[in-house]
Amino acid sequence: MLRLKEKDKPIVQKLLSSGCCARCVLRFCCVSVQAAYRKPPQETLEELRAFVCGDTEKNGEPREAPEGSAESHDVASHDATVSEPHGAPPNKRVKLEPDGSDAPEEEDAAAVVEPKDEEPSVCVACLGILQELCSPAEAAKISERVKAEKYEFDSLVLSVSLPAQLCVREHSCWLHVKKELREKSMAVDKDDVVQVKEAFKWTMQSLVAKELGGVAVVTRSPFEVGVEFTHPETDADCHFLATACGDCFRPTKNKQSVFTRMAVVKALEKISDAVFLKHYASPPAPPKSSCSPQNIQCLHTCVFIAGRYNKFSRSLPQTPWVIDGERRMESSVEELIAAPVLSSFRADGFNFSSSGREDVDVRTLGNGRPFAMELLNPHRSKLSNVDMKQLQETINNSSDKIRVRDLQIVSREAMSRMKEGEEDKTKSYTALVWTQKPIGSQDIAFIDDIKDLTLDQKTPLRVLHRRALAVRQRVVHRMNARFLDPHHFLLQLQTQAGTYIKEFVHGDFGRTKPNMCVLLDTHTDILELDVESVDVDWPPSIPE
């Protein structure tokens, strides 16, 4: 069943004799019934030939009939005729006896659609993509590749990338058809023509689904399988557009060629039919070879995980510490966490972020610091609560320098909660402070009474290379001092997030005002610092 109407006949004839494949003929006849594309193209081709021949015979009308007469019969007698293969018997004979010169009554028909080619030539419109590149064998290749990558997925989306010159060929075919349409006063919009991409998907989706044992091949899925076709032979097809529509092809930094699909489509929208036809044949010249399929790309959308970490080491940076290309510390918090996570999700890479960060020599104790990771191209995306617990154990057993809790999969949207309002949050610290002047416990007792002390912090010298020079106001909400010996005391602080604690203690050459030196009227320094808590209520805690 071709679902073609009598009025389509001259178009079918025209396209077949121009070297369009069966599926492309359906496309230009605006057949949008997916099943029509799933049939073996050879079968469709025979039906199309039958459709054309059958009625040519029936009408006793030679193919190259004067335009006028064709028009009149189109409107008159066969208006409502549909796709039924009314030309079936002659069609069969054409098929079985390709060089049926002994069948005189079919000679005309044979001449019309040239059924002598047993090997179908490469389609002028799709460059072979809807021919052998859209077959069960190709579907098997795609599924082999997907299986080899060992992704876990419930559904997949098939995407296809086509050479840009296909748009030029499509336009050329369209103009060829349009001429016929105009002569017949038929109104068809170019947008009604089924795109190569669509026809490819309609055909391949079900084939790939079958090869993968019934996996749903859908239009939206976190798992994408991309096929790409190139056709170097006809790459130059686009080039005339650069002179005809120069302003559409501006060189861009990252693109290899200015002839991107987008630019070509834009140029084709602008160019007049007359100018196009002056530079490019309509219908397009037949190609020698089919498109070449490139590597099949599998890509799973990112998975996000979150949790809290403790850092127990004073020689562990949060992220790899590299100065002048040289690594300074052998590991980092993010690497210690990432290694087991990446192997569990079988991801290609990650991005790590956290609610603030601590210096290499600062420990993070208490409930830990919230962090999140974006896992790139994970081959596994679903872990049960039990699996996540197991993963957390693996991380915690791998090193005594860090510990992770509340590890969970989160949404991309939820991740933003970690960053929002970060500056308004409070953080608690404990600092070991040294004083130059000997002190007694009575000398530091007044510190406990200080509430909501506002500091003016000029960007610390040690971070000036990465942060803009500014004076930032930060609030120390509460402090508590515990005497240790005449030169040492423990200082507990609760501060607004973003307060530089080290600078508050040693003063940073007066860049932080007031500071502990001013308050105690002696030189003071900070020997050790621990983050006791980061009061961000995300991610939700998970009971142990």
**Can you give the binding site for Zn ion, defined by CB under 5 A?**
21, 24, 123, 125-126, 130
Q: Before 539, cis peptide (omega within 30)?
A: yes
CB of residue 247 to Zn ion, shortest distance in Å: 31
Amino acid occupying residue 420: E
Residue nearer to Zn ion on the CB measure, 37 or 489: 37
Shortest separation between residue 116's beta carbon and Zn ion, angstroms: 19
Question: What tokens appear for 209 in the block?
Answer: 């689904």
User: Which 3 state secondary structure label does DSSP give 276?
Assistant: helix
Rounded to 5 degrees, what are φ and ψ at 512? -110, 125
* Of 21 and 271, CB closest to Zn ion: 21
Could you tell me the smallest distance in angstroms from the CB atom of residue 141 to Zn ion? 20
Q: Distance between CA 92 and CA 90 in Å, rounded?
A: 5
DSSP designation for 296: P
- Report phi then psi at 233, rounded to 5: -55, -35
The whole-angstrom separation of Cα 51 and Cα 41 is: 15
Asked if 196 and 127 count as a contact pair (C-beta separation under 8 A), the reply is: no
How many other CB atoms are found less than 10 A from the CB of residue 219? 9
* Minimum distance of Zn ion from residue 113's CB (angstroms): 15
Q: Compute the least distance from the CB of residue 303 to Zn ion, in Å.
A: 39
Considering beta carbons, is residue 132 or 361 the nearer one to Zn ion?
132
The rounded distance, in Å, linking the Cα atoms of 131 and 408 is 47
Q: CB of residue 19 vs Zn ion: minimum separation in angstroms?
A: 9
- DSSP tag of 134: S
Residue 24 vs 534, nearer CB to Zn ion: 24
Q: Please, what sign has the CA dihedral across residues 333, 336, 337, 343? A: positive
Residue 154 designated active-site: no
Minimum CB separation of residue 106 from Zn ion in Å reads 25
All residues at 6 or more sequence positions from 534 whose CB lies less than 8 Å from its CB, including other chains: 308, 355, 356, 364, 366, 367, 368, 369, 370, 425, 427, 497
| Token duo for residue 200 | 């490819």
Strand partners, 226: 159, 297
Nearest one of 327, 344, 348 to 390, comparing CA atoms: 344
Q: Which residue out of 359, 361, 525, 535 is catalytically annotated?
A: 359
Nearer to Zn ion, 221 or 290 (CB): 290
Closer CB to Zn ion, residue 146 or residue 177?
177
Both tokens of residue 236? 């130059």
3-class SS of residue 80: coil
Cβ contacts of 135 within 8 Å, gap of 6 or more: 207
HSE toward the beta carbon, residue 513, CA cutoff 13 A = 5
> Which residue stretches of 33-164 are H helix?
34-38, 41-59, 67-76, 88-96, 107-113, 136-149
Q: Minimum distance between the CB of residue 16 and Zn ion, rounded to whole angstroms?
A: 11
Residue 124 CB, nearest approach to Zn ion (Å): 8
- Residue 11 or residue 126: which is nearer to Zn ion going by CB? 126
SS3 346: coil
Q: Which is nearer to Zn ion, 28 or 345 (CB)?
A: 28
Q: Who contacts 138 (Cβ-Cβ below 8 Å, separation ≥6)?
A: 132, 204, 207, 293
What is the biggest distance separating any 2 CA atoms in the chain, rounded to whole angstroms? 121
Q: CB neighbours of 543 closer than 8 A, spacing ≥ 6?
A: none
Indicate the residue among 20 and 531 with the shorter CB distance to Zn ion: 20
Q: What are the backbone dihedrals phi and psi of residue 203, each rounded to the nearest 5 degrees, phi first?
A: -80, -45
Would you please indicate which residues are annotated as catalytic (active-site) residues?
359
